[in-house]
Amino acid sequence: MAEFQVPLRDMSFVLYELFKADEIWQSLPKLAENVDRETADAILQECSKIAEQEVATIAREGDQVGVSFNNGIVTTAPGYKEAFKTYAQGGWAALGGDPAYGGMGMPKMITALHEEMFCAADISFFLYPSLTSGAGLSLAKHGSEELKQRYLTRIYAGDWAASMCLTESHAGSDLGIIRTKAVPQEDGSYRVTGNKIFITGGEHDLTENIVHLVLAKLPDAPAGPRGISLFLVPKFKVNDDESIGEANNVSCGSIEHKMGINASATCVMNFDDSTGYLVGELNKGLACMFTMMNFERIGVGIQGIGAAVRSYQNALEYAKDRLQGRSMTGAKNPEKEADSIMVHGDVRRMLLNMKALNEGSRALSSYIAMQLDYATYAEGEQQAKGEALSTLMTPLAKAFFTDMGFESTVAGQQVLGGHGFIREWGQEQLVRDVRITQIYEGTNGIQAMDLLVRKVAGSKGALMQVFLDEVNAYISEISSDSNNENMQEFIQPLATATNDLEKLTKFLLEKATDDVNELGGAANDYLHVFGYTAMAYIWAKMAKIALDKQESDDKFYQSKLHTARYFFARLLPRRISLIETAKSGADVLFNIDDELF
């Protein structure tokens, strides 16, 4: 496997040239006191060192050794405890945390790039701090002052980890039918009893305590999702002097043996009259948990980007070194016995697919992160727009980036040929690891339904119109300036794609008035049409910068411009077949009896 290198140059381009992030931070008073460009650069530089030198180097052994389970005790792979200690001591567990409790208060635009670095280095490792950060986010927003002082400060310090306990054997996406119970006690605590499955980081040896956020129902709770509450259940109780107390009847029953992410502990967790504390309001637990789940869904999308970045680096290094065959136009290296496989059109196609999707995904991910920052830190119309766009694009981030991530890891495997199929080269691990990202935190099919049914149809198209209006305003701005004639190769196809997305949205909403199954049948295709169109918008913006710098000797801008042209020529047209499929109707899906399958 190629030695991992964090693409800091491209990250800097996205932050400061594409989105002017430093100007955004200074324009938002709630952020200005915490972050500037110098601080952000120092964070990304230091994080890149840990990702490259501490985490990427343990990924292969972590996959091969995995986690072990013995009589309720989970032991992580060699090097993980040391790497986690380095990560925690650097303060990175607190990167996006509330400064009032020891957090650094960094914007999502920085934490998203930090996540990409570590996911590219090793998804398995980063799942431990990622779930911890997500739990911290939920606790910071919904927890009582007492809970935040006692638990959140230790989470931010990296002393304690956290997990998210939702799923039960009979209740996956349908959380309304969970059976875990919480019985109120006279002292204000609750006794939590039940079993949870697929719990990432439910048990491990990285920290002395693990804080579990557990969904449960009171005995008299309303049926369905309206009766769910959220509880903080620590592995060990905490004494009044903040020291670790007695065990809290929380145990790991087993760990899962999985296709990938083998160094991440995926646990069956048992709660047996465990002491828990209410987070937020009774019967409002799902809303509290969604604070964390929305964070995690975007984070899972970034896992897809990270794996794809690692795949591209592996494939590119291999393709340049691998000698096989000759160019169709004649030998490029006649002094050697063969040319590198870089001379072959199909290899270049796969590499450019990865490059264009990776750079487009990084930029689009940062755009979505920017909307989250506006939603969190801005006011008035700017805050409302950020809220609308981040709401709309959360399912897109999770599903589109992971679908593209899986495509890119498989493409990298194909570039390596037989070497991509064997363990020695490490490429097959990326394929196995990234596959789960399309499944957990809500399968990509559910994300597509969330986008089209809840976000687009649920708002009667209003949320999508916010995005369309922004893109159309950009198209008008560029088109009205005679100095931008060289942008027409990007603006014209972007205008067509945007118009097609708007027409498809109206078409599906109209058809759904007669048959709601039209939405379910078209959801996956619709999400991908939206994904390619949104990425085209961001690629057009990047192309504008590259065109303005094309006279420069900096090969970075030359590469960016070529990649933009490739995206518009070879990847954006994918949406055309997706549109036709989305419009084909739901009858072909539902007019066949189950026994005829």
- The per-residue pLDDT for 297 is 86
Provide the 10 A C-beta neighbour count for residue 559. 14
Section 499-510 average pLDDT: 98
Residue 415 sits in the same domain as residue 559 = no
How many residues does this entry show for the chain?
A: 597
- The per-residue pLDDT for 264 is 98
Residue 56 sits in the same domain as residue 166 = yes
- The per-residue pLDDT for 214 is 97
Residue 410 sits in the same domain as residue 266 = yes
Residue 187 sits in the same domain as residue 79 = yes
Residue 278 sits in the same domain as residue 364 = yes
Task: Tell me how many domains the chain contains.
Answer: 2
> Is the pLDDT assigned to residue 2 strictly greater than 90?
no
| Residue 277: φ, ψ to 5° | -130, 135
Residue 435 sits in the same domain as residue 582 = no
Provide the 10 A C-beta neighbour count for residue 297. 24
Domain final residue pick, 421, 442, 463: 442
Q: What is the pLDDT of residues 355-393, one digit of tens each?
A: 999 999 999 999 999 999 999 999 999 999 999 999 999
Could you tell me if residue 70 is left (phi over 0), alpha (psi between -120 and 50 degrees) or otherwise beta? beta
> Is the pLDDT assigned to residue 351 strictly greater than 80?
yes
Residue 376 sits in the same domain as residue 468 = no
Let me know if residue 337 belongs to a domain. no
Which residues contact residue 555 at a Cβ distance below 8 angstroms, ignoring those fewer than 6 apart? none
Instruction: Read off the CATH number of the domain in which 127 is found.
Output: 2.40.110.20
Q: What is the pLDDT of residues 530-567, one digit of tens each?
A: 999 999 999 999 999 999 998 888 999 999 999 999 99
Let me know if residue 338 belongs to a domain. no
Section 218-224 average pLDDT: 92
Which residues contact residue 455 at a Cβ distance below 8 angstroms, ignoring those fewer than 6 apart? 391, 392, 395, 463, 464
Let me know if residue 348 belongs to a domain. no
Q: What is the pLDDT of residues 139-170, one digit of tens each?
A: 999 999 999 999 999 999 999 999 999 999 88
CB 578 within 8 A of CB 528: yes
Residue 541 sits in the same domain as residue 397 = no
- The per-residue pLDDT for 296 is 77
Let me know if residue 336 belongs to a domain. no
Residue 412 sits in the same domain as residue 555 = no
The 10 Å CB-count burial string (b at 16+, else e) for 478-511 is beeeeebeebeebbebbbebbeebbebbeebbeb
- The per-residue pLDDT for 259 is 98
Domain final residue pick, 381, 414, 442: 442
Could you tell me if residue 212 is left (phi over 0), alpha (psi between -120 and 50 degrees) or otherwise beta? beta
> Picking from 267-276, 287-296, 401-410, which range would have the lowest pLDDT averaged per residue?
287-296
Q: Which domain holds residue 114?
A: 1-320+354-442
Token output for 188: 């204000």
| pLDDT level of residue 17 (50, 70, 90 thresholds) | very high
Let me know if residue 77 belongs to a domain. yes
Q: What is the pLDDT of residues 296-317, one digit of tens each?
A: 789 999 999 999 999 999 999 9
> Is the pLDDT assigned to residue 173 strictly greater than 80?
no
> Is the pLDDT assigned to residue 291 strictly greater than 90?
no
Can you give the pTM of this predicted structure?
Answer: 0.96
Residue 164 sits in the same domain as residue 177 = yes
> Is the pLDDT assigned to residue 327 strictly greater than 80?
yes
> Is the pLDDT assigned to residue 9 strictly greater than 90?
yes
- The per-residue pLDDT for 219 is 94
- The per-residue pLDDT for 593 is 93
- The per-residue pLDDT for 551 is 80
Let me know if residue 471 belongs to a domain. yes
Section 246-269 average pLDDT: 98
Let me know if residue 344 belongs to a domain. no
Domain final residue pick, 415, 442, 469: 442
In the numeric block, the tokens 């939206």 are attached to 530
> Is the pLDDT assigned to residue 1 strictly greater than 80?
no
CA atoms within 13 A on the CB side of 23: 5
Residue 476 sits in the same domain as residue 570 = yes
Residue 395 sits in the same domain as residue 510 = no
d(CA 15, CA 9): 10
- Active-site residues, by number, are 441
Let me know if residue 556 belongs to a domain. yes
| pLDDT level of residue 83 (50, 70, 90 thresholds) | very high
The letter for the amino acid at 230 is L
